[in-house]
Structure 1
Amino acid sequence: MINKNIIWSISLVVFLSTFSCKEIVKNTETLQVIKVGNAKDLRDFFNYTGNDIPIISGHRGQKTIGYAENSIEALEDVLKHTPAFFEIDPRLTKDSVIVLMHDATLERTTNGTGKVSDYTLQELKKLRLKDAHGNILDHQIPTLQEAIQWSKGKTILNLDKKDVPISLMAEVLEELDKETTVMVTVHNAEQAMFYHEKNKDRMFSAFVKTEADFEKFDNSGVPWSQMIAYIGPKIKGEDNKIYNLLNSKGVMCMISAASSYDKLEVMSERHKAYVDIIKDGASIIESDYPIEFYKAIKSVIPKNSPKNKYFQEIKKSHY
């Protein structure tokens, strides 16, 4: 005869195991990721083919209640809804650590005061970030290293130019980004040439707003295959020659709605503008509202594209 205590113990183990499994399932989230593992993948992902899936860039992550710009939490929340890559802002601390912060000062986005550069990393980590409505969140200022580590296998980071000297940025990226999958924003051909000399595989988000800009980059020696082009904040309409110039080189064109169409107060007007950006010829759209942008353009996303292989789902479990 089986001892009752043994039966009770077995039942308890089965119950706890079942409960634990349910909790794991309950706390499992799906992330919509861009699976780019190396520099070759990155070039192929951004190569213009004419049959590409519109690519969303989250400007500083996103601008949503409950999430702070330039926070890892904001970036990951976007991936729960749509694949995207992210423009983020590197700044230097007093002890020369690179952190993510758009402004030179702390007041707008944290509960601190003064300049970022007057604080050490340890001091900055004691602060908490705010969302766009000024609500203080339980989110810390991330370092660039933390952001890059988080991004691997999930997305692509595009580093804007703030107060970090490009010589230091190039040096740090060689240490933190062995796969060369982090992009760098360059405002002119000279900056691109500097980074390219340091790493021949580095990918750039280049300011190419005019034909004169195009000529400078075309003569720079930096391959067009390693660039996307930011062409401005508004639809080009009839003045679309820049699309033709860049697309002929295999370069995707990016419109940033952050300073233009994102500011439309009526949601339906924003959604129409987002779709019009795609119809106008842009391949990449940068927005403060990447989740909303995805919902607006779902109907115009091509079902068959050579880029489908880069868009995947992964499970993230919270134990």
Structure 2
Amino acid sequence: MLKSKYILPVLLLLTQAVIFGFRQPAQLHTINTGNAKEIKDFFRYTPDRLPFVCSHRGGPRKGFPENCIATFENTLSHYPTMLEIDPRFTKDGKIVLMHDPTLDRTSNGTGKVADHTLAELKKLRLKDTEGNLTDFTIPTLDEALEWAKGKTILVIDAKDVPVDVRAAKIVEHKAEGNAIIIAYSIEDIQKCYAVSKDIVMEVMTAKPEQIAALDKCGVPWENLVGFVSHEMPQDKNIFSEVHKRGSMCVLGSSRNIDRQFTKGQISAAELEAGYLNLIRQGADVIEADLGIESGAALHSLQQAASSKAKYFGK
């Protein structure tokens, strides 16, 4: 017979079991850069770097909507990955995660995101990649920044949120170690650096003239990660030029091999070979729609001895 002091804890466990169906939380694969110094070291190019993935819109798939924290956790339950996210303003000046300016494609709402208050948006439910309604709700940027600590690095795109506002949010949450910003112009790069010299930015490096402009912009390369393109550049020297400056290179797969695979034009084996080829050509990070599949393709490469290994874990 149970002693009285054990009865309440057991009842609580049984209650949780009924509510959650004995479901255990998934173990997450992590990228853990705890502060500005560590995140800059993580993105510093070294020949022994471990290639990894940035999951576009968080890695959505059947059952898991884009720009959704439950989706982030599902993606991380398979492989370590950064997560690219999309911020938009609400009617009352809050910031939520939503790729489109309208609600119709990804939720059971209608109309513009900017025409709804946060309270109104929180009543909606998100759709998965097949258009099926889920129980998941629209997260705020604040929620995502707090959730990501110790788990991964968020890559915050622009949409309708200015770069200085995104930078201020990172500073507000003390998230310089777990979030970076996509900056599309020299002016935005300088604005972000003026807000905080600790924030790392993903910047455009598809052309030699873009690299030359970055050299002169007054922001050190330790604050910059190069986004080469959504396509393999004709000039392969782009990779080595960015590497010479101590920065990593991101290359997108969402508009090429990811799309070919989802349309049934290439096989799973060809998809894997495609990811590995992007790394062989000089990429350090693949920004992929298929976060889990790209993570699987790069998994064997992450077993090598590396000075970056300390940032990957569970």
TM-score for both structures, normalised by structure 1: 0.89
- Provide the rounded CA distance (Å) in 1 between the counterparts of 2:271 and 2:222: 32
8 Å CA contact 2:33–2:177 kept in 1: the answer is no
Aligned ranges 1:23-38 → 2 under 5 Å:
27-38=24-35
Q: Is 1:246 equivalent to 2:253 in the alignment?
A: no
Question: In the alignment, does 2:217 pair up with 1:220?
Answer: yes
Match of 1:134 among 131, 134, 148: 131
Query: Per the alignment, in what secondary structure is the counterpart of residue 31 of structure 1?
Result: coil
Q: Contact 2:258–2:288 (CA<8 Å) still a contact in 1?
A: yes
Q: How many residues align?
A: 304
Task: Report SS of the residue matched to 1:206.
Answer: strand
Gaps of 5+ in 2: none
Name the structure 2 match of 1:279.
280
Closer/same/farther in 2, CA of residues 100 and 19 from structure 1, 3 Å limit: closer
Q: 2-side partners of 1:30 and 1:170: how far apart?
A: 30
Cα displacement string for residues 160-193 of structure 1 (whole angstroms, at most 9, x for unaligned residues): 0110123333333322235453210011222101
Who is 2:44 aligned against?
Answer: 47
Q: Contact 2:58–2:68 (CA<8 Å) still a contact in 1?
A: yes
Identity fraction in percent = 38
In the alignment, is the contact (CA less than 8 A) between 1:94 and 1:116 conserved in 2? yes
SS in 2 for 1:42: helix
Cα offset, 1:235, TM superposition: 2.7
Of 70, 74, 95 in structure 2, the residue corresponding to residue 98 of structure 1 is 95
What secondary structure sits across from 1:282 in the alignment? coil
Verify: 1:170 aligned to 2:171, yes or no.
no
In structure 1, how many angstroms separate the alpha carbons of the residues matched to 2:99 and 2:291?
Answer: 18
Residues 1:13 and 1:195: Cα distance change in structure 2 (over 3 Å): closer
After superposition, the C-alpha distances for 1:71-116 in whole angstroms (9 at most, x for unaligned) are 0011111111111111100000000001000000011100111000
Mapped partners of 2:105, 2:204: distance in 1:
27
Alignment map for 1:38-117 (pairs within 5 Å): 38-117=35-114
Determine the C-alpha separation between the residues in 2 that align with 1:180 and 1:131: 30
Residue in structure 2 matched with residue 311 of structure 1 by the alignment: 312
> CA–CA distance in 2 between the matches of 1:117 and 1:34?
33
**Which residue in the other structure is 1:156 paired with?**
153
What is the root-mean-square deviation in Å for CA atoms of aligned residues? 2.3
Q: Is the 8 A contact 2:52 2:295 kept in 1?
A: no
Greater shift after overlay, 260-269 or 195-204? 260-269
Residues 56, 43 of structure 1: CA spacing in aligned structure 2 closer, same or farther, 3 A cutoff? same
* Partner-residue secondary structure (3-state), 2:194: helix
Selected match of 2:188 from 177, 191, 197: 191
Offset, 1:258: 1.1
Q: SS at the partner of 2:292?
A: helix
Secondary structure, aligned partner of 1:130? coil
Query: In 2 relative to 1, CA 299–290 (structure 1 residues): closer, same or farther, beyond 3 Å?
Result: same
In 2: Cα distance, 1:296 partner to 1:178 partner = 29
What is the alpha-carbon distance in structure 1 between the residues aligned to residue 79 and residue 59 of structure 2? 12
Q: Which residue of 2 aligns with 1:255?
A: 251
Separation in 2, partners of 1:295, 1:179: 28
Deviations 1:34-75 (A, max 9, x none): 111100000011110011111210100013100000000111
Q: Is the CA contact 1:52–1:305 (under 8 Å) kept in the aligned structure 2?
A: yes
CA distance 1:19–1:186, shift in 2 (3 Å): closer
Q: 2:226 aligns with which of 212, 223, 229?
A: 229
Cα distance in 1, alignment partners of residues 127 and 11 from structure 2: 39
* Cα distance change on mapping 1:116 and 1:188 into 2, 3 Å: same
Gaps of 5+ in 1: 1-7, 314-319
Q: For residues 274 and 126 of structure 1, what CA distance do their matches in structure 2 show? A: 39
Q: 1: CA distance between counterparts of 2:228 and 2:216?
A: 18
